[in-house]
């Protein structure tokens, strides 16, 4: 089993066993559960340090497999917990097994390189001694150097007034009763899927994203939430040429890479543009670009995913 597409926001779905486990853990650490999806995500990204280069994160309540972007974001926080005075510029991860809710995630960090400009960390994420995710994360200093941006952000309608991702999903699945709870990142869709079966669309999509609230003033946290958001909506772009809406496909992220070109401040809308230039043998390649509202490209994303038609 791998990371399922249907678990995108499962970190915020109700589960009585998961809620009890999380509340018990929070109570034992003298904390209470925060209100709202973004504060809950921020709290779960605040990892507990366990000795040298060892961290523990809480997966929280929910149903199905953990959202892969959530584990990647926690891995970024673990790696960053071993680096001082440097900013994240890239992370490359492999999803190996499905993560489970209400089970702590242990992060072991290996300090591979500590150079004058770059610091490299390898992170292994495990649940109950099973490795579920591995990643390499690279950090660098801020410095002057060559700079260019050849591509400009594609034209896109303003996010205000565009349909919400969760509303569209519920509409395609049968109505308001199918709507999931809001997640920590709001998504507004420029390029809708067709409600009609087998309507083939270009393997290209534009969505606007922003946190549902204000993030604390922490550069590493902003970068981690950006990595979290970069796994949203991505693999579904590859399903568009095949007319495969939510109930007609099964998918899973296999690996995920993010390059951050500028210091990240994720406190406004980001335009996330994705395309799938090739797919073969059920594996689709996804490429993405994230732009600020002023057109500056702040991040690039690449992913290979498994995509099967039901």
Q: How far apart are CA 272 and CA 270, in angstroms?
A: 6
Q: Judging by DSSP bridges, how do beta strands 3-4 and 249-260 pair with one another?
A: antiparallel
Asked if 191 is an active-site residue, the reply is no
- Work out the burial of residue 70: count CB atoms within 10 Å of its CB; fewer than 13 is exposed, 13-18 middle, 19 or more buried: buried
Among candidate residues 7, 8, 59, 253, the one labeled active-site is 253
Q: How far apart are CA 273 and CA 233, in angstroms?
A: 10
Total Cβ atoms within 10 A of residue 128 = 10
Among candidate residues 8, 58, 74, 303, the one labeled active-site is 303
CA distances from 301 to 32, 191, 266 (A): 35, 19, 16
CA distances from 263 to 80, 153, 185 (A): 14, 18, 19
Q: How far apart are CA 253 and CA 9, in angstroms?
A: 15
Asked if 230 is an active-site residue, the reply is no
Nearest to 214 by CA among 58, 46, 76, 42: 42
Q: How far apart are CA 227 and CA 72, in angstroms?
A: 7
Nearest to 181 by CA among 13, 58, 56, 6: 13
Among candidate residues 10, 231, 274, 276, the one labeled active-site is 231
Q: How far apart are CA 307 and CA 284, in angstroms?
A: 7
Crossing angle between the packed helical segments 219-230 and 37-44, to the nearest 10 degrees? 110
Asked if 194 is an active-site residue, the reply is no
What is the set of active-site residues?
Answer: 231, 253, 303
């Amino acid at each position: 089993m791998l990371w399922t597409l249907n678990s995108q926001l499962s970190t915020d779905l109700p589960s009585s066993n998961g809620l009890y486990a999380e509340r018990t853990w929070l109570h034992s650490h003298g904390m209470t559960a925060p209100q709202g999806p973004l504060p809950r995500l921020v709290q779960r990204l605040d990892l507990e340090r366990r000795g040298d280069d060892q961290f523990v994160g809480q997966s929280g309540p929910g149903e199905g497999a953990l959202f892969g972007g959530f584990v990647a974001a926690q891995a970024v926080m673990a790696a960053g917990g071993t680096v001082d005075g440097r900013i994240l510029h890239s992370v490359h991860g492999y999803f190996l097994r499905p993560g489970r809710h209400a089970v702590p995630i242990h992060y072991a960090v290996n300090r591979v390189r500590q150079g004058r400009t770059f610091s490299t960390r390898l992170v292994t994420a495990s649940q109950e001694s099973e490795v579920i995710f591995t990643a390499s994360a690279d950090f660098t200093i801020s410095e002057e150097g060559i700079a260019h941006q050849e591509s400009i952000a594609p034209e896109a309608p303003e996010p205000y007034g565009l349909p919400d991702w969760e509303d569209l999903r519920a509409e395609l699945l049968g109505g308001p009763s199918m709507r999931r709870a809001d997640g920590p990142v709001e998504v507004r869709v420029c390029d809708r899927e067709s409600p009609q079966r087998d309507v083939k669309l270009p393997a290209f999509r534009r969505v606007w994203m922003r946190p549902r609230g204000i993030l604390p003033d922490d550069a590493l946290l902003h970068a981690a939430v950006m990595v979290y958001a970069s796994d949203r909506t991505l693999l579904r772009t590859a399903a568009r040429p095949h007319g495969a809406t939510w109930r007609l496909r099964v998918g899973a992220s296999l690996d995920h890479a993010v390059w951050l070109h500028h210091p990240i401040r994720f406190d406004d809308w980001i335009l996330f543009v994705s395309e799938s230039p090739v797919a073969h043998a059920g594996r689709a390649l996804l490429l993405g670009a994230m732009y600020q509202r002023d057109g500056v490209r702040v991040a690039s994303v690449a992913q290979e995913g498994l995509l099967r038609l039901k």
